[in-house]
């Protein structure tokens, strides 16, 4: 869970047209797997520094918990890692969840859920600094597609000395498309990270009087570097979200993602990848082991190439391989991987030769009907990981 500015992330959308076929154009073809350059932490080392996660309910029902990432290195409860992400006794978090106003700001006049806790001394069922997981109890009845804003701040009396950090997936050159602006339409066609177009990370330096939407405390001049990283846990229902929060290295060797357990007809019209360094390569599509399309791509950032449309039938298996491109694998941590069912035989996708908690931003477009940003499985208890 370290922060690095050494990798180059997406600088511009690069839509590559495969010879003889129309490109995807402005169709809503979101990448199902987020891509980035590192993990990024925002230190809550001031009472007026507030961080906002604007998120959209992935399902209808009783939302039991919203899980977020925390980094405590340097505080009294985690001294075995880096420093600067925490200090003193770790501070006091207050997390509140609110409706969203038409302008995208949180409606601070209406609080739907509130939790106050000390990260370094709370029960592990609420926060585990070894895993880096905060499990906020919400107990909200939500409808799929509804927006909410969760605001996190440090209420410690001496917040500059006693603090921890909130952690997200980070893109060093800034977020592209809808999630890099204060988008208000759920139908915006340029959401590239497995997120609803309206989802973002926001930042305030004056206790919520003014918000940067999106925003952060370093990186891009406007702070548009952080991707929402969360898991929604519904009571007796699905677990879903954007779980990837750090990258596990850059490779220009072939990276293959396998998409399986397709439950309905799936028309593929394009192939895509998220390249973190300028390179030239190919993306190849196989269905049940038979090559169906290969397209050349070059550049950096989000690469997409149109292909002749083909239909995948229920029960078939799709493989997409990127060759010659600089690809950053993304990882979700073993605790979230267990919760989300990654590594199970019925998981909708996995990285060939990778760990269960890893994925590569290489994909067919549009996304598989049963392959979201995270597997949709029934919540269950699993063994805790230790980092």
Compute φ and ψ for 386, nearest 5 degrees: -130, 135
DSSP lists the bridge partners of residue 327 as 251, 275
Separation of alpha carbons 273 and 327, rounded Å? 8
Q: Measured between alpha carbons, how far is 4 from 248 in angstroms, rounded to an integer?
A: 12
**Contact criterion met (CB below 8 Å) for 36 and 327:** no
Hey, what's the torsion of the CAs at 384, 165, 42, 363, to 10 degrees? 0
pLDDT value of position 105: 98
* Residue in 172, 200, 189, 160 with CA at minimum distance from that of residue 47: 160
The DSSP code sequence of 144-171 is TT-EEEEEEEE--TTTTTSB-EEEEEE-
Residue 31: pLDDT band with limits 50, 70, 90: low
Question: In this model, does residue 28 exceed pLDDT 60?
Answer: no
Q: How far is CA 91 from CA 29, 71, 283, in A?
A: 42, 12, 47
Contact 314, 262 (CB under 8 A): yes
Tell me, what's the pLDDT at 378? Answer: 31
Q: In this model, does residue 377 exceed pLDDT 90? A: no
Q: How many C-beta atoms lie closer than 10 Å to residue 70's C-beta?
A: 25
CA gyration radius, the chain: 20
Element (H, E) at 326: strand 326-331
- pLDDT at residue 245, as a whole number: 94
**Predicted confidence (pLDDT) per residue in 47-96, tens digit:** 999 999 999 999 999 999 999 999 999 999 987 766 789 999 999 999 99
The tens digit of pLDDT for each residue in 330-358 reads 999 889 999 998 888 888 899 999 999 99
pLDDT top residue among 237 and 375: 237
CA proximity to 292, closest of 276, 268, 275: 268
State what percent of residues in the chain have pLDDT above 90.
65
Residue 59 backbone phi and psi in degrees, to 5: -150, 170
Beta-carbon contacts of residue 9 (< 8 Å; ≥ 6 apart): 35, 36, 37, 171, 172, 173, 174, 276, 301
Contact 327, 250 (CB under 8 A): yes
Tokens 């500059």 correspond to what residue? Answer: 160
Q: What share of the chain is helix, strand, coil (3-state, %, to 5)?
A: 5, 45, 55
CB burial of residue 357 (10 Å; 0-12, 13-18, 19+): buried
Question: What was the pLDDT predicted at 221?
Answer: 64
Q: What is the DSSP letter of 220?
A: S
Q: What confidence score (pLDDT) does residue 253 get? A: 80
Segment 361-369 shows an average pLDDT of: 84
Average pLDDT of the residues in 378-382: 31
Contact 6, 173 (CB under 8 A): no
Look up residue 92 and give its two tokens: 């006091």
Q: What is the pLDDT of residue 194?
A: 87
Domain range list for the chain: 14-21+246-378, 38-242
Kindly tell me the burial class for residue 243, based on how many C-beta atoms sit within 10 Å of its own C-beta (0-12, 13-18, 19 or more).
buried
Structure tokens at 350: 């996995």
Q: What is the pLDDT of residues 280-328, one digit of tens each?
A: 999 999 999 999 999 999 988 888 899 999 999 999 999 999 999 999 9
Asked whether the predicted pLDDT for residue 275 surpasses 60, the reply is yes
Residue 348 structure tokens: 């909708």
Q: Does domain 14-21+246-378 have CATH number 2.60.120?
A: yes
Q: What is the DSSP string of 242-270?
A: E---EEEEEE-S-EEEEE----S-EEEEE
Q: Does the pLDDT value for residue 250 go beyond 90?
A: no
- Residue 374 clears pLDDT 60, i.e. is over it: no
pLDDT at 25 exceeding the cut of 50? no
Model pLDDT for residues 111-160, shown as the tens digit of each residue:
999 999 999 999 989 999 999 999 999 999 999 999 999 999 999 999 99
- Confidence tier at 387 by pLDDT (50, 70, 90): very low
- Cβ neighbour number for residue 126 with a 10 Å cutoff: 17
């Amino acid at each position: 869970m370290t922060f690095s500015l050494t990798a180059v992330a997406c600088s511009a959308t690069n839509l590559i047209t495969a010879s003889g076929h129309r490109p995807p154009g402005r169709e809503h073809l979101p990448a199902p797997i987020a891509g980035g350059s590192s993990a990024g932490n925002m230190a809550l080392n001031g009472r007026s520094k507030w961080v906002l996660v604007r998120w959209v309910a992935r399902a209808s029902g009783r939302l039991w918990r919203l899980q977020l990432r925390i980094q405590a290195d340097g505080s009294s409860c985690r001294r075995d890692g880096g420093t600067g992400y925490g200090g003193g006794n770790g501070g006091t978090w207050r997390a509140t969840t609110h409706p969203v106003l038409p302008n995208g700001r949180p409606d601070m006049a209406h609080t739907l859920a509130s939790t106050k806790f000390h990260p370094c001394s709370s029960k592990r069922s609420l926060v585990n600094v070894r895993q880096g997981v905060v499990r906020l109890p919400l107990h909200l009845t939500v409808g799929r597609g509804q927006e909410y804003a969760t605001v996190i701040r440090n209420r410690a009396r001496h917040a500059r000395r006693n603090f921890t950090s909130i952690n997200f997936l980070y893109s060093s050159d800034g977020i592209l498309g809808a999630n890099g602006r204060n988008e208000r339409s759920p139908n915006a066609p340029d959401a590239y990270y497995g997120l609803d177009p309206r989802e973002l990370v926001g930042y305030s330096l004056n206790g919520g009087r003014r918000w940067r939407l999106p925003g952060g405390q370093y990186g891009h001049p406007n702070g548009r570097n952080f991707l929402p990283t969360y898991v929604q846990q519904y009571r007796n229902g699905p677990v879903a979200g954007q779980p990837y929060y750090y990258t596990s290295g850059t490779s220009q060797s072939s990276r293959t993602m396998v998409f399986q357990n397709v439950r309905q007809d799936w028309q593929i019209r394009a192939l895509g990848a998220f390249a973190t360094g300028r390179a030239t390569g190919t993306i190849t599509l196989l269905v049940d082991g038979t090559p169906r399309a290969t397209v050349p791509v070059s550049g950096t950032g989000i690469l997409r190439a149109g292909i002749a449309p083909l239909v995948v039938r229920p029960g078939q298996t799709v493989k997409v391989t990127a060759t010659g491109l600089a690809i950053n694998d993304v990882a979700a941590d073993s605790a979230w991987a267990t919760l989300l069912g990654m590594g199970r035989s019925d998981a909708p996708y996995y990285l060939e030769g990778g760990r269960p908690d890893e994925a590569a931003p290489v994909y067919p477009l549009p996304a598989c009907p049963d392959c979201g940003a995270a597997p949709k499985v029934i919540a269950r208890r699993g063994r805790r990981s230790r980092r």
